[in-house]
Amino acid sequence: MPKASAFSRFTRGVRHTTRAFRSTKHPVLVHIVPMRRCNLSCTYCNEYDKTSDPVPTDVMMDRIDKLASFNSSVITISGGEPMMHPDIYAIIARIRKHGMIAGLISNGYYFQVPKIKKLNEAGLDYLQISIDNVTPDDVSKKSQKVLDAKLVNLSEHAKFKVNINSVVGGGVANPEEALQIANRARELGFSSTVGVIHDEDGLNKGLTEREKEVYAEIKAKGARSYARWNWFQDKLVEGEEYEWRCRSGARYLYICEEGLVHWCSQQRGTPGTPLLEYTHKDMHREYHTEKWCAPTCTIQCVHQVGHLDAWRDPQISEAEYAKKYGNGLNKETVAKVLEGR
């Protein structure tokens, strides 16, 4: 990877992180879905279908422009499998045109050399691939054996950062394989992280003793970076709750293929507001109100964003919020609150 590209990405990341600490009035991370369809059918996944069409490109551009108007920092394209979208490179380029950081989450099947070079040209900043096992099984085809040639392609040609995420938890037959996957990632010059498989609500399912050991070993080997702001998992792997302030709906947004804003991929339907109608007032509400699912949530990206504001602005219930910021405030006061004055 050219040093100039890595340095540019680093400096932009520092700038956006500094802005996130300085102000709470913009989304830090947005996951947006341009394609719900996927070429795989992993049994634990509830984020794909086999039939839907890609979101029209002009609609995707309008959504990205709206996110830019919020001064969003990082836009990560998710799915389904986003590399199946016919205009994925143009979508990435639009994100970068607005000065936002562009990320991509993929199952890894589509990284032939010509496509990697197009991603370089579009300005992709980072890619995450989740690999579930070493050899394909009935649970998942996202396997090191299947994907290794594509990983070599990325190692040799990608100008963007690549992270390989392995998982431990229910459904993964051999937790030791997560160690092999993490070691292979480092051999190729990639960063590696480890996740904990969650249930259909994104909540903790618990780990066996061996899974806990594998989790600890992978985490200990990883390089320190923003992607490794995952100490919340230490309590979850022990079956304990983790107390934190979830800022989803404000600092983190999940935009489904229908263009609706949700707390996250596992809590679709809340608040369920169209992005093009979403306002700073909506973000203010979601920033300040508690989320029922927070104590046992395993969604890494939402936790990582929450760390930025962990030290400020205690959250309250929706009823308390309505009382504090509702009809008892005049329009001028509400305007000042929403503008952060």
Q: How does 67-95 read in b/e, with b if 16+ C-beta sit within 10 Å?
A: bbebebbbbbbbbbbbbbbebbbebbbbb
Report the pLDDT averaged over residues 38-63. Answer: 88
Question: If you average pLDDT over residues 33-53, what whole number do you get?
Answer: 86
**Residue 335: per-residue pLDDT:** 58
Concatenated DSSP letters for 168-230? ESTT-S-THHHHHHHHHHHHTT-EEEEEE-B-TTSBB----HHHHHHHHHHHHHSPPSGGG--
Q: How far is CA 106 from the centre of its chain?
A: 11
Cα–Cα distance between 341 and 332 in angstroms, integer? 11
Report the pLDDT value the prediction gives residue 323, as an integer from 0 to 100: 87
Q: Nearest CA to 93 among 68, 129, 133, 120?
A: 120
pLDDT tens, position by position, 83-103: 999 999 999 999 999 999 999
At residue 103, the pLDDT reads 97
Give percent of the chain with pLDDT exceeding 90. 54
Distance CA 74, CA 13 (A): 9
Which amino acid, residue 261?
V
pLDDT range class, residue 206, cuts 50, 70, 90 = low
- In tens, the pLDDT along 223-253 reads 444 445 566 667 676 777 888 999 999 999 9
Is 122's pLDDT higher than 70? yes
- Cα 225 to Cα 190, 192, 221, 282: the distances in Å are 12, 10, 12, 31
Q: Is the pLDDT of residue 32 over 80?
A: yes
Task: Provide mean pLDDT across the span 130-134.
Answer: 85
Pairing of strands 126-131, 74-77: unpaired
Q: Is the pLDDT of residue 337 over 80?
A: no
| Among 35, 33, 158, 32, CA closest to 86 | 35
Buried b (16+ CB within 10 A) or exposed e, 312-329: eeebeeeeebeeebeeee
Give the highest mean pLDDT range of 30-34, 310-314, 327-331: 30-34
pLDDT, position 135: 81
Quick one: pLDDT band at residue 142, thresholds 50, 70, 90?
confident
Asked if the peptide bond before residue 326 counts as cis, ω within 30 degrees of 0, the response is no
More confident residue, 290 or 221: 290
The model's confidence at residue 216, banded by pLDDT at 50, 70 and 90, is: confident
Closest CA to 96 of 160, 148, 191: 160
**Which pLDDT band, with edges at 50, 70 and 90, does 117 fall under?**
very high
DSSP state, residue 255:
E
Averaged pLDDT for residues 181-199: 82
For every residue of 79-142, DSSP letters joined together read SS-GGGSTTHHHHHHHHHHTT-EEEEEE-STT--HHHHHHHHHHT--EEEEEE-BSS--SS---
Give the bridge partners for 161, in sequence order. Answer: 126
Average pLDDT over every residue of 55-66: 98
Query: What's the average model confidence in pLDDT over 268-285?
Result: 95
Give the model's pLDDT for residue 90.
Answer: 98
- What average pLDDT does the structure give for the chain? 86
Both structure tokens of 306: 């929450």
For the domain spanning 3-307, the CATH number is 3.20.20.70
Nearest to 143 by CA among 153, 156, 130: 130
Q: How confident is the model at residue 56 (pLDDT cuts 50, 70, 90)?
A: very high
